[in-house]
């Protein structure tokens, strides 16, 4: 017999919610700087590795970077655990962060596989669009910008943006609160995902603003590079507070 599919009650959000989550996320970062900043360093190292592997192959690099960002909700699971423990009055350690995948159980793994499949699909589609447009995956950054981003025919770039937007919206709806919920409560993946989609769907303005802030701060982090070390944990902690603020999970059994 399969588990019944339920969703947790969703709270209404106001337009100031996103800023409140960032403020609370900053407090968590200050209270637990070591595990928080270690996450930022890992993201920075992963970004550098992607850049090194894809350098000179801009069809691959564009999709790989954006695909990596699609996986960010899952890769930030350790940050949610830090915030969860702080909310319980505990002092989180690096060991707690490393054990997060064990605590999440098979449902976390399945959700991770789903997001990884979506990320892989996007990387492949992105490479196809860019390669078909430029015909030359190599060349310098300037050549890539002229041949694709600033090309006389803007349709391929607009198609790339539109397709990326669809993937980003889908992943945001799935992952807005699903991963924190799996860490916090004894629920299955379907319940977590459907609750996440419901939270986004019932609060389109607040969640839309939150998505825009996440995108903006991510771009700032990528532009400054080292800014990722601080902005990644800030957004991760803030995502935990987005979950605890938008979902009333009190009726669901806690995950210890």
pLDDT given at position 58 = 62
Pick the most confident of 52-66, 112-126, 232-246. Answer: 232-246
pLDDT tens digits along 146-165: 666 667 777 878 888 898 88
| Higher pLDDT pick, 142 / 17 | 17
Predicted confidence (pLDDT) at residue 141 exceeds the cutoff of 90: no
Q: What is the mean pLDDT of the chain?
A: 85
**Nearest alpha carbon to residue 29 among 16, 20, 43, 40:** 40
What percentage of residues in the chain have a pLDDT greater than 70?
85
pLDDT of residue 225: 79
Rounded distance between C-alpha atoms, residue 85 and residue 60, angstroms: 38
- Residue 31 has a pLDDT of 96
CA–CA dist 193, 172 (Å, integer):
11
C-beta of residue 177 within 8 angstroms of C-beta of residue 159: no
Q: Where in the chain are the domains?
A: 17-246
Alpha-carbon gap, residue 218 to 253, rounded angstroms: 34
- For 3-28, what is the mean pLDDT? 90
Check whether 167 has a pLDDT greater than 90. no
* Section 222-238 average pLDDT: 90
Angle (CA) 233-254-205 rounded to 5° is 50
Percentage, residues of the chain above pLDDT 90: 44
Residues 171-220: tens digit of each pLDDT? 899 989 999 999 999 999 999 999 999 999 999 999 999 999 998 998 89
Distance CA 84, CA 81 (A): 5
Does 2 have pLDDT greater than 60?
no
Residue with more model confidence, 75 or 69: 75
What is the arithmetic mean of pLDDT over 110-131?
82
50 neighbors 68 (Cβ within 8 angstroms): yes
Bridge partners (DSSP) listed for residue 10: 247
Identify the residue with better confidence: 89 or 52. Answer: 89
Q: What are phi and psi of 10, to 5 degrees?
A: -110, 135
> Is the predicted pLDDT of residue 67 greater than 60, yes or no?
yes
Q: What are 191-200's pLDDT values in tens digits? A: 999 999 999 9
**Measured distance CA(198)–CA(194) in Å, rounded:** 6
* pLDDT at res. 155: 84
- What pLDDT shows up at residue 73? 82
pLDDT for position 1: 39
pTM score of the predicted model: 0.85
How far apart, in Å, are the Cα atoms of 112 and each of 29, 36, 93?
Answer: 24, 21, 23
Q: What is the spatial distance between Cα 202 and Cα 66, in angstroms, rounded to a whole number?
A: 27
């Amino acid at each position: 017999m399969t588990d019944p599919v339920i969703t947790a009650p969703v709270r209404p959000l106001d337009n100031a919610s996103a800023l409140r989550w960032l403020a609370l996320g900053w407090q968590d970062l200050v209270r637990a700087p070591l595990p928080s900043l270690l996450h930022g360093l890992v993201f920075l190292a992963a970004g550098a590795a992607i850049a090194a592997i894809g350098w000179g192959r801009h069809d691959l690099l564009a999709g790989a970077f954006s695909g990596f960002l699609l996986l960010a909700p899952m890769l930030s699971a350790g940050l949610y655990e830090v915030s969860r423990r702080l909310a319980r009055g505990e002092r989180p350690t690096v060991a707690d962060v490393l054990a997060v995948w064990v605590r999440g159980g098979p449902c976390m793994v399945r959700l991770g596989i789903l997001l990884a499949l979506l990320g892989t699909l996007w990387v492949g589609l992105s490479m196809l669009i860019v390669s078909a447009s430029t015909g030359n995956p190599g060349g310098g950054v300037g050549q890539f910008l002229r041949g694709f981003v600033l090309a006389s025919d803007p349709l391929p770039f607009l198609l790339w943006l539109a397709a990326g937007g669809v993937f980003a919206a889908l992943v945001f709806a799935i992952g807005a609160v699903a991963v924190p919920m799996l860490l916090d409560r004894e629920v299955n993946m379907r319940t977590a995902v459907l609750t996440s989609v419901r939270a986004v769907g019932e609060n389109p303005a607040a969640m839309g603003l939150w998505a825009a802030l996440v995108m903006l701060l991510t771009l700032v982090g990528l532009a400054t590079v080292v800014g990722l070390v601080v902005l990644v944990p800030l957004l991760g902690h803030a995502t935990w507070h987005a979950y605890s603020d938008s979902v009333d999970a009190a009726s669901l059994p806690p995950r210890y």
